[in-house]
Amino acid sequence: MRLPEGLTTPALLVDIAALEGNIARMQEAAAAGGFALRPHAKAHKCLQIARRQLRAGAQGLTVATLAEAEVFADAGCEDLFVATPMWVDEAKGRRLRRLAEHAALRLAVDSAEGARRLGQELGSAAGAVEVLVEVDCGIRRTGVAPSGAGRLAREARAAGLPVVGAFTFPGHGYAHDPGARERAARDEERVLGEAVRSLRDAGVESPVVSGGSTPTAGAWRPGIVNELRPGVYVFNDATQQAIGTCSVGDLALAAAATVISVPAPDRFVLDVGSKVLGADRSPWVAGRGFLPQYPDAVITGLWEHHAVVRPARGNEAPAPGTVLAVVPNHVCTAVNLADELLVVRDGVPVDRWPVAARGANS
């Protein structure tokens, strides 16, 4: 990413050419396999990016929370899947009923209790939403075993919820070994296949079979899955670069940071920390972020407002005042810390995009 002159740092920047390339390539990959693409908007939280994804051919958006769904629906993105089972209190029930009036809303269930609660709160609006059963394909987070999908679907139906299929998240596809990413994609296919059979045995058809993630994108093959929900790919990050699912040129988001101190020849300090980059560690990245201009340097320490960097052996530290790009380990948490993203084309600022769904956690 070429950085503009005269920036006040730290600031989060988007390289719009890289972003547009990432959006186009993922849409092509989905179309080539006959998949509907429903990108996860948690990764960017920006209306300007959601609209680009939809214009490129995405069928709708995935979001993580009801609050995110509200932000995107209010802006006219009205085909939304909230891909986390929620516990619907009375306030969320009111918000869901209001949202279902003007958005095509798909919701997740992974327990009978959650489904009953959801059905109860939706009341007569239950018929206006669609529900997917979450199954676990290996990450042991939420989701039922695929053999339990049918029973849960019957319980959801009994609660008034229209079940239209199943979904999973192959989070174990984060791996440096392409074979491991391939196996995660096959796990997903196998587990969703079992879920669809379990649903059919319970009398429930599955027009929607949803999976996918950025790391497994290269392993998509036509099969039972018909919808994919990658998120990180719009920007990519140090983790994707380290596991090899993107090149340095595909990194579309970075913090601009200034060298504030060179206390010793073996380290320099940047004015960026966990309050800009997020504190995510990555098992695949040598340090706490990636410096494209110093690809072999390691961010050995990340404080709230300091990144301590060890230059590669034989490299001199840059002088105080030097501005560098720092790519976060995990783009989703970095974006969620910023009020806006500075949009850059060929090193020139061209726009500012509000992070409209920043902090939309509930």
> Which residue ranges make up the site for its own copies (CB under 8 A)?
6-11, 42, 64-65, 84-87, 89-92, 110-111, 113-114, 117, 136, 140-144, 171, 258-264, 267, 269, 271, 274-276, 278-281, 301, 303-306, 308, 319-321, 330, 332-333, 336-339, 359, 361-362
Tell me how far, at minimum, the Cβ of 171 lies from its own copies, in Å.
8
Q: Which residues contact 24 (CB under 8 A, 6 or more apart)?
A: 56
Tell me how far, at minimum, the Cβ of 156 lies from its own copies, in Å.
14
Q: Which residues contact 218 (CB under 8 A, 6 or more apart)?
A: 178, 181, 245
Tell me how far, at minimum, the Cβ of 161 lies from its own copies, in Å.
16
Is the distance from CB of 52 to CB of 73 less than 8 angstroms?
no
Tell me how far, at minimum, the Cβ of 21 lies from its own copies, in Å.
25
β pairing state of 348-354 and 36-37? unpaired
CA–CA separation, 247 and 262 (whole Å):
30
Tell me how far, at minimum, the Cβ of 145 lies from its own copies, in Å.
8
CA–CA separation, 62 and 229 (whole Å):
7
Tell me how far, at minimum, the Cβ of 285 lies from its own copies, in Å.
14
> Please, which residue, 127 or 320, has the CB nearer to its own copies?
320
CA–CA separation, 39 and 50 (whole Å):
8
> Please, which residue, 15 or 136, has the CB nearer to its own copies?
136
